[in-house]
Amino acid sequence: MTELLIAPLSEADAVLQSMEDASPAKWHLGHTNWFFETFLLRDHMPDYRLHNDRWPFLFNSYYEAEGERIGRFARGMLSRPTVEEILNWRNAVDEAMEPLLDDPRFTDLIELGIAHEQQHQELMLTDIKHALFQNPLGPAMFECSGTYACSYQDEDHSYIHHGGSVQIGHDGAGFAYDNEGPPHQVILTPFELGRRLVNNGQWQDFIDDGGYRNSALWLSDGWAWVQKNAISAPLYWHENDQFSHYGWVKRHAAQPVTHISFYEADAYATWAGGRLPTEFEWEVIAREQDTAPTSNQMDGTEHLLPEGHADLFGDCWQFTRSAYLPYPRFQPAEGAIGEYNGKFMSGQVVLRGASCATARGHSRASYRNFFYPHQRWQFTGLRLAKDI
């Protein structure tokens, strides 16, 4: 899937880095391969020799235990190695991995490597979208099939929960990241959670009512961010259009709003007379739904636009009002792998669900995504909660 997604890009496209938060598509291609070569082949196959002993410096992301690495801001300067060279490296690692695939000692680490690559598929899609957006020509990454169905309908129905003591966290069945546990009890007061995501039409009403000009709606840091950056609409909006992986396309009122910051989501919730849910409220509602997620997630290159399905998962990640913090008794794993999630538990907020760029099946009730409050280049949106 990773190689399918990168296939339409030119060599120049693949090296673009539009901001420090984003990475070039070519870097994602190499970093996901570095993960397998480093933590499986290098560490567990005594006879394995690195494909190129200089490349770990280029493709290590943030693992301090793995030593020095190129600055994140400089990843866009990597004109070499070429995409073809990285693809050849991936093929060599795939072949070398074969003996490990059926060894139960490595099952958990291989699963982590696969999940890690799925995360980077989504990051690669959102990063290249931001990079192509900088081009005045508005280039398309994929051909638009024109089959997008906005199934969103304005409804006031909500999920209702009467509160009480609930268990939060992954129950241990199947794969999960370390930050999804340990399971623990949380006390909830009665609340309701909207069945539908806030859509573009509703967001336009917020804009028309002066939402971006009314300081009373905003958190202090959010209002300072709006003023400093002259924010007046979601990212990628221009007149009646929005930028997408298919170039500039018409913006439909019924589509879920995306590419908003936590600050914007919180201000909208205040304006609408509601609030953002806590991550625990979101999880308990998701856990009570018996059906598997059926909404819009990434199966390929066909539907990388929110469509408005009636599902807790898909279309866009949903902001909560919860700070990204460790659960009681959380302990990171030993070694470099322990740096995967725990070291980022400061200053970020939790998002739940999945987006149209999230790999199909890479979602579950306990999954905790996290971003800084000002970031909005990912597919981020919201649904409203209210106290009962």
Task: Residue 373: give the domain boundaries.
Answer: 158-387
175-231 residue pLDDT tens? 999 999 999 999 999 999 999 999 999 999 999 999 999 999 999 999 999 999 999
Q: Are residues 182 and 228 in the same domain?
A: yes
Q: Among 98, 133, 168, identify where a domain stops.
A: 133
Q: Are residues 225 and 289 in the same domain?
A: yes
> Does 68 reside within a domain?
yes
173-189 residue pLDDT tens? 999 999 999 999 999 99
Q: Are residues 41 and 184 in the same domain?
A: no
Predicted local distance difference test score (pLDDT) of residue 283: 97
45-80 residue pLDDT tens? 999 999 999 999 999 999 999 999 999 999 999 999
Structurally, the chain folds into a number of domains equal to 2
Q: Are residues 165 and 113 in the same domain?
A: no
> Does 140 reside within a domain?
no
Residue 380: what are its φ and ψ, rounded to 5°?
-115, 135
Q: Are residues 176 and 279 in the same domain?
A: yes
Q: How many residues does the chain have?
A: 388
Partner residues linked to 187 by β-bridges: 165
* Distance, first Cα to last Cα, the chain: 44
For residue 284, pLDDT beyond 60: yes
- Cα distance between residue 244 and residue 74, in whole Å: 25
Q: State the pLDDT confidence band at 151, using cuts at 50, 70 and 90.
A: low
For residue 25, pLDDT beyond 80: yes
Tell me the three state secondary structure of residue 242: strand
One-letter identity of residue 170: H
Predicted local distance difference test score (pLDDT) of residue 302: 86
> Does 138 reside within a domain?
no
Name residue, tokens 């409203």.
384
Predicted local distance difference test score (pLDDT) of residue 292: 63
> Does 141 reside within a domain?
no
Q: Are residues 258 and 308 in the same domain?
A: yes
For residue 252, pLDDT beyond 80: yes
Residue 184 sits in a domain of what CATH number? 3.90.1580.10
Structure tokens at 275: 């609030």
Q: Are residues 257 and 355 in the same domain?
A: yes
> Does 339 reside within a domain?
yes
pTM of the full structure? 0.95
Q: Are residues 227 and 304 in the same domain?
A: yes
Rounded (10°) CA dihedral 69, 118, 128, 246: 170
Predicted local distance difference test score (pLDDT) of residue 334: 85
The more confident residue out of 296 and 210 is 210
Q: Are residues 205 and 324 in the same domain?
A: yes
261-276 residue pLDDT tens? 999 999 999 999 999 9
Q: Are residues 61 and 180 in the same domain?
A: no
> Does 119 reside within a domain?
yes
Q: Are residues 237 and 308 in the same domain?
A: yes
Q: Are residues 88 and 195 in the same domain?
A: no
> Does 151 reside within a domain?
no
> Does 149 reside within a domain?
no
For residue 150, pLDDT beyond 60: no
